[in-house]
Structure 1
Amino acid sequence: MPELLVELFSEEIPARMQARAAEDLARLLADALKPAGLVLEGVRSFHGPRRIALSCTLPAATAAVEEERRGPRADATGPALEGFLRATGLPREGLEERDTGKGVYLYAVIRRPGRPTAELLAEALPALLRRFPWPKSMRWGDGSGFTWVRPLQRILCVFDGAAVPFALAAEGDDGHGLRTGEKTEGHRILSPGAFAARDAASWEAGLRERHVVADAAEREALIERGVAELATAEGLEVVPDRGLLAEVAGLVEWPVPLLGRIDDAFMDLPAEVMRTSMRVNQRYFALRHRDGRAANRFALVANIPATDGGAKIIAGNERVLRARLSDARFFWDNDRKAGLESFLPKLEGVTFHAKLGTQAQRVERIVALARHLAPLVGADTELAARAAKLCKADLASGMVGEFPELQGVMGGYYAREAGLDPRIADAIAQHYRPLGPTDAVPSEPMAVAVALADKLDTLAGFFAVGEKPTGSGDPFALRRAALGVIRIIRENELRLPLRQVFAAARPDAPVGELLDFLLERLRVQLRAEGQRHDVVAASIGSDDDLTRILARGEALKALLDTEDGANLLAAYKRAANILRIEEKKDGRAYSGPVNAGLLAAPEEAALDSAIAEIWPLTRQRLDAEDFAGATGALARLRAPVDAFFDKVVVNAEDPQLRVNRLLLLSSLRAAADQVAELSKIEA
């Protein structure tokens, strides 16, 4: 099939917007051509500092379409006829009259000839580009009504080797504007000037000849490999940072990695401070020794090769970095001189949320909750309260004011500088963790207490004031907080009564909603891990101890993986379905003791006896938290249940026998439900 190549060439596009823009271009074009029956195939998206582009294949033309529609009766007049004529675009004499056997009706045969794809592209692309969803855009030029992220300079649009002609002007303009063509440009400095490209291969090759690597993934790989090789040559390694790698790949077209040196005078700064200053201010990569110590080297990526091996570029960047690290030194020295305690009064003037008070008020809540949690997680109560008191103090420090990414981390450093217990410093440094799915969770009891107190206060507070996540938004990152709580509990195997803990966090908190929210996050996490989230849902019941719920779920999964368990589940669902149908029909719920005198068949007597035997046994095993034992006891019902359904008719003609057998099924359902709600298990 013929190939389409579209490139939008502009002034420099912010790196953070490029990937999404390339995705939007492919999506919007696919949506625009779909009504014509055209489907993009073999789509490749490109993005970089000065261009977004895509290539794909499309049919040369749309297929001819013949469509038949039935309209109103042949004698119809007025709105019914007029509406049908408008919908079909045909005059009255262009309709056919057909006798359907139920009357004579009007029929329209609509024939649409195929159209060249190039024509459809020329019609679709201007409107598509005018409504392009940049997060921010700008106008430029005298009287221009067209907006783009940065001044748009060229539009390359070729299909099947020929330019697709259209002019890009804002709606309502006189039709003049930037016109499409076959030309693009290479590197601004190394290869100025335009060149023509009539397909994706010549476009990509022509750009490479002119010092532009079009593919963003290739630029990332070149940067990653080049920086790693330079670091290895010095016996060092690169501090991993995928986000920075993607951003730098969006800043350069012809990446040239180089190594610079950090002045030894700054090497006593915390490694996190140096890394953050280099990353945020200059987009430099931090290097470290094999043992994890910060190295006095950094990597930068230039956009041009240098005749002197990059010496001048490196020297210039070293000068800039000295200035940046001098600023960091100023904050570091001033903050240490003031001391962590001195920042606490400033929190009284910092609003956390209009409905939840100041940061100082929030700290008092975290302190109280940390005291409550400490004995539950094995932490010293007074030390946990002390760590909680200081955990937000660094928010008022100069360093965190400059680099918000370092909150918590700097508090830990300042606590150590003040000579506080190392466990307090670690708890302050770690209380925001986990920051993401790959971040480690706190494991020392005091750090666990403070981290949980911080997250549980956030959840309870925002739920209490009605600021809950919605399907379209979660502005206060409550889902992330919930996942953090879940990971801390799971990975430390904590035993927390969550209803009690939420009530302790905030007396007016909607405890039931909070627990449901947390359990739903647990199911989402398990689903993402490829685990049986339905098994966990069946194991919850009225329990609020995540560790116990998960242990019960593991035991239930082990049972369901056996033949006995699978058959027992099928029998349970059969019993539950019978009960649901009969209870609805009879208008009553079946529960209560089975009449032993009405157990006419030996199979129903055997089932009743088996239920009576395993009931106290499963209860005893559950109370001892021997969940494998409880599910093992439940598995003993498999044989008598199979025999019952094989030999006994539940809906007997004798009303008394029928009711008694329904009560027996109800007893079976109740015996299973005390171990797990098997009705929640997906087939």
Structure 2
Amino acid sequence: YQADGSPSKAAEGFARSCGVSLEQMGTIKTDKGEWLAFSENKTGKPTEQLIGDILSKSLTALPVAKRMRWGSGTTEFVRPVKWVVLLFGTEVINSTILGIKADRNSRGHRFHAPALINIREAASYAEQLLESGHVEVSFETRRTQIEQQAIELAGTVSGHAHIEPALLDEITALVEWPVGVMGGIDERFLALPAEVLITTMQDNQKYFPVKAESGELLPWFITFSNIDSTNPESVRKGNERVVRPRLADAEFFWNQDRKQPLENRVEKLGSIIFQKQLGTLLDKTERVEKLAALIAEEIGADKTLSRRAAHLAKTDLMTEMVGEFASLQGIIGRYYAAADGEPGEVAQAIEEQYFPKQSGGKLPECKTGQVLALAEKLDTLCGIFSAGLMPTGDKDPYALRRAAIGILRIILEKRLDLNLVELIEKSCGLFSHEFDREKTQKLLLTFCLERLKGLFLEEGFSADELDAVLSVHPTRPLDFEERLQAVKAFRSLPESESLAAANKRIRNILRKAGSLSQHAVDTKQLIEPAEKQLWEQTQNASEAIAPLLSQRDYSAALKRLALLREVTDLFFDEVMVMADDEAIRNNRLTLLSATGNLFLSIADISKLQ
């Protein structure tokens, strides 16, 4: 409630969400204050009366990108629904699902067993469909069958099936009676990059490629039919006939693209808009070139190679091959750059600019690749933020969260001692359009630090350890990690709990006291033995940790500061901080500030719970 006693908008909204008036709400008391609450006892209903409605709501809530209608009805779903079996034990649940009245009749395989199957009870569903319907209901069983058949078929040509989990799941969902078939491709197509063949087979045809033990692609593939064909040879030939023209197209693109070097495609990038406010891909290329040179200098990479890689980075987007196989961007650039005689590290970097491609994906290996990946992602991140198109909720059309995580992973895992603030400032400085630079840079830093926090939470660090480090605002991810490791090690020390409590007390006292009028401890105003000891030990600790801080040996520094526990406890036991004498009071506050600042040079350990 507000100060005048009227309900706040939050309170009114909470009541509405519960479907009651504010007068019907109750309150509960916690250690954080009094809260509005609502509870209601609802009488239970039999499962069979609830399940139909639950199922209908669940199906409606499915995140289906495109729904369709069928027949003359208005019902929409991902595919037409012809019948619904809904049983509770042996009884049919009286319900209408997606416009179809539920009963106990299902059907088997469209070709092998299309007749009606009367399902006796829910528990017999899978067994009856398998025995009478030629349908394997279990997704996991079908998945295992497909994988095993693929392995066995590949073994017949002394190879092994290249099985991507996502494709395995997709094929499992496409068939209800999986039957593997081995097919072949013309050996001349093996002259194409393996990635082109694999993409054609996997993405377009849903085939599993076959590789030799050496990892080289073999002229074979494995496909899955949904029937026990009486003429499997015809099935094999049909699949070979379908894939042949696709591979011939790829061969044509490969030969045509290599007739001109990537350099000739740079100017064409000016015809492709990257983003309305940020210009064309050529504009992006020029920014990334400059940023790559700056980053290369920071991490000791080759500036010439970095600029060259950035110059050619997007040129493969103008090729026929990438026009047909968009997922091969970067990969095709690597092949074409190598064919053009570009340095090996430049070719490698063109592919590695997109690393990591997914959560936990591999990172750029070469220095030039690391530079280009950082520069490319930073330009996108800073550019889209400057255009005011930050991610909101679950919407992130430019994959900025992934870009930020990629930047952080490269910095951390490749041990690049880079400063996020400097990187963001340098990148933002390369854009020519008008935007609030200071505000954008602050938003970007916060965005990156939130992703950094998420990465460390996944690694097992606790939220209070992260808060302790975040409170001192480190802007170098490696430095952040080193402080975090030190805090984790510190909390295992016997002195940590007492010192965390003491630092909480220091923070609270200083906050209540307001700004300090005194900035240095006056030793003449130190009266009590305990405060003299604290000052002496604080000075000693300050001198001891100075070289450790310069070396960023935060664990050793915190271990040294742990020795302050005894004198700090003694100070609070024997000294009245808020003395009546203003000079003495201010001096003691300054002493506490000096003691607390020693810890704050590493982390705010008062955040530890």
For normalisation by structure 2, the TM-score amounts to 0.86
Aligned equivalent of 1:151, options 69, 76, 80: 80
Looking at structure 2, the residues matched to 397 and 555 of structure 1 have their Cα atoms a distance apart, in angstroms, of: 50
Give the conservation status (yes or no) of the 8 Å contact 1:591–1:667.
Answer: no
Q: Which amino acid aligns with 1:562?
A: L
* 1:417-496 matches, cutoff 5 A: 417-496=339-418
Q: How far is the alpha carbon of 1:523 from its aligned partner?
A: 0.7
Give the conservation status (yes or no) of the 8 Å contact 1:634–1:672.
Answer: yes
Q: Which amino acid aligns with 1:301?
A: F
Looking at structure 2, the residues matched to 349 and 548 of structure 1 have their Cα atoms a distance apart, in angstroms, of: 42
Q: Show structure 1 runs of 5+ residues with no match.
A: 1-34, 36-68, 73-83, 85-109, 170-176
Q: Which amino acid aligns with 1:134?
A: V
Q: Which amino acid aligns with 2:144?
A: A
Looking at structure 1, the residues matched to 55 and 302 of structure 2 have their Cα atoms a distance apart, in angstroms, of: 66
Structure 2 match to 1:280: 203
Give the conservation status (yes or no) of the 8 Å contact 2:143–2:168.
Answer: yes
Q: Which amino acid aligns with 2:91?
A: A
User: Structure 1 residues 130 and 598 mapped into 2: Cα distance closer, same or farther (>3 Å)?
Assistant: closer
> 1:491-513 CA deviation, whole Å, 9 max, x = no partner?
11011133222222122643232
Structure 2 match to 1:630: 557
Q: How far is the alpha carbon of 1:611 from its aligned partner?
A: 0.9
User: Structure 1 residues 372 and 660 mapped into 2: Cα distance closer, same or farther (>3 Å)?
Assistant: closer
* 3-state DSSP of counterpart to 2:84: strand
Structure 1 match to 2:281: 359
Structure 1 match to 2:544: 617
Structure 2 match to 1:134: 64
Structure 1 match to 2:427: 505
Which range moved further: 543-552 or 275-284?
543-552
Are 1:556 and 2:492 an aligned pair?
Answer: no
* 3-state DSSP of counterpart to 1:147: coil
Q: Which amino acid aligns with 1:629?
A: A
Q: How far is the alpha carbon of 1:138 from its aligned partner?
A: 2.0
Structure 1 match to 2:594: 667
Q: Which has the larger radius of gyration?
A: 1
Q: Which amino acid aligns with 1:631?
A: L
> 1:143-186 CA deviation, whole Å, 9 max, x = no partner?
x22222222110111223111224457xxxxxxx6322111111
Q: Which amino acid aligns with 1:674?
A: S
Structure 1 match to 2:35: none
Q: Which amino acid aligns with 1:665?
A: L
Aligned equivalent of 1:204, options 110, 126, 136: 126
Looking at structure 1, the residues matched to 297 and 44 of structure 2 have their Cα atoms a distance apart, in angstroms, of: 76
Q: Which amino acid aligns with 1:673?
A: L
Are 1:529 and 2:451 an aligned pair?
Answer: no
Are 1:543 and 2:465 an aligned pair?
Answer: no
Q: Which amino acid aligns with 1:260?
A: G
Q: Which amino acid aligns with 1:614?
A: A
Q: Which amino acid aligns with 1:270?
A: P
Give the conservation status (yes or no) of the 8 Å contact 1:239–1:286.
Answer: yes
Structure 2 match to 1:575: 506
Looking at structure 1, the residues matched to 309 and 388 of structure 2 have their Cα atoms a distance apart, in angstroms, of: 29
Looking at structure 1, the residues matched to 190 and 421 of structure 2 have their Cα atoms a distance apart, in angstroms, of: 48
Q: How far is the alpha carbon of 1:302 from its aligned partner?
A: 1.4
Looking at structure 2, the residues matched to 647 and 367 of structure 1 have their Cα atoms a distance apart, in angstroms, of: 63
Are 1:306 and 2:221 an aligned pair?
Answer: no
Looking at structure 2, the residues matched to 372 and 140 of structure 1 have their Cα atoms a distance apart, in angstroms, of: 59
Aligned equivalent of 2:178, options 252, 255, 259: 255
> 1:399-432 CA deviation, whole Å, 9 max, x = no partner?
1111100000000000011111111111111111
Looking at structure 1, the residues matched to 543 and 272 of structure 2 have their Cα atoms a distance apart, in angstroms, of: 57
Q: How far is the alpha carbon of 1:603 from its aligned partner?
A: 1.9
* 1:86-125 matches, cutoff 5 A: 116-121=46-51
* 3-state DSSP of counterpart to 2:111: coil
Give the conservation status (yes or no) of the 8 Å contact 2:353–2:364.
Answer: yes
* 3-state DSSP of counterpart to 1:250: helix
Q: How far is the alpha carbon of 1:258 from its aligned partner?
A: 2.6
Structure 2 match to 1:101: none
User: Structure 1 residues 123 and 571 mapped into 2: Cα distance closer, same or farther (>3 Å)?
Assistant: closer
Looking at structure 1, the residues matched to 326 and 105 of structure 2 have their Cα atoms a distance apart, in angstroms, of: 45
* 3-state DSSP of counterpart to 2:182: strand
Looking at structure 2, the residues matched to 536 and 127 of structure 1 have their Cα atoms a distance apart, in angstroms, of: 40
User: Structure 1 residues 674 and 195 mapped into 2: Cα distance closer, same or farther (>3 Å)?
Assistant: same
Looking at structure 1, the residues matched to 187 and 426 of structure 2 have their Cα atoms a distance apart, in angstroms, of: 50
Q: How far is the alpha carbon of 1:530 from its aligned partner?
A: 1.6
Q: Show structure 2 runs of 5+ residues with no match.
A: 1-17, 25-39, 430-434
Looking at structure 1, the residues matched to 311 and 84 of structure 2 have their Cα atoms a distance apart, in angstroms, of: 58
User: Structure 1 residues 645 and 422 mapped into 2: Cα distance closer, same or farther (>3 Å)?
Assistant: same
Q: Which amino acid aligns with 1:264?
A: E
Give the conservation status (yes or no) of the 8 Å contact 1:126–1:166.
Answer: no
User: Structure 1 residues 601 and 351 mapped into 2: Cα distance closer, same or farther (>3 Å)?
Assistant: same
Which range moved further: 218-227 or 502-511?
502-511
Q: Which amino acid aligns with 2:366?
A: E
Looking at structure 2, the residues matched to 140 and 184 of structure 1 have their Cα atoms a distance apart, in angstroms, of: 19
> 1:103-129 CA deviation, whole Å, 9 max, x = no partner?
xxxxxxx99987554344566666776
Structure 1 match to 2:603: 676
* 3-state DSSP of counterpart to 1:152: coil
Count of aligned pairs between the two proteins: 565
Structure richer in strand, relative to its length: 1
Q: How far is the alpha carbon of 1:644 from its aligned partner?
A: 2.2
Q: Which amino acid aligns with 2:148?
A: R
Looking at structure 2, the residues matched to 521 and 112 of structure 1 have their Cα atoms a distance apart, in angstroms, of: 42
For normalisation by structure 1, the TM-score amounts to 0.77
Looking at structure 1, the residues matched to 499 and 140 of structure 2 have their Cα atoms a distance apart, in angstroms, of: 52
Which range moved further: 405-414 or 489-498?
489-498
Looking at structure 2, the residues matched to 671 and 316 of structure 1 have their Cα atoms a distance apart, in angstroms, of: 75
Q: How far is the alpha carbon of 1:259 from its aligned partner?
A: 2.2
Aligned equivalent of 1:382, options 293, 300, 304: 304
Give the conservation status (yes or no) of the 8 Å contact 2:89–2:123.
Answer: no
Structure 1 match to 2:532: 605
Structure 1 match to 2:89: 160
Looking at structure 1, the residues matched to 41 and 559 of structure 2 have their Cα atoms a distance apart, in angstroms, of: 69
Structure 2 match to 1:404: 326
* 1:299-338 matches, cutoff 5 A: 299-308=222-231, 310-338=232-260
* 3-state DSSP of counterpart to 2:495: helix
Q: How far is the alpha carbon of 1:619 from its aligned partner?
A: 3.0
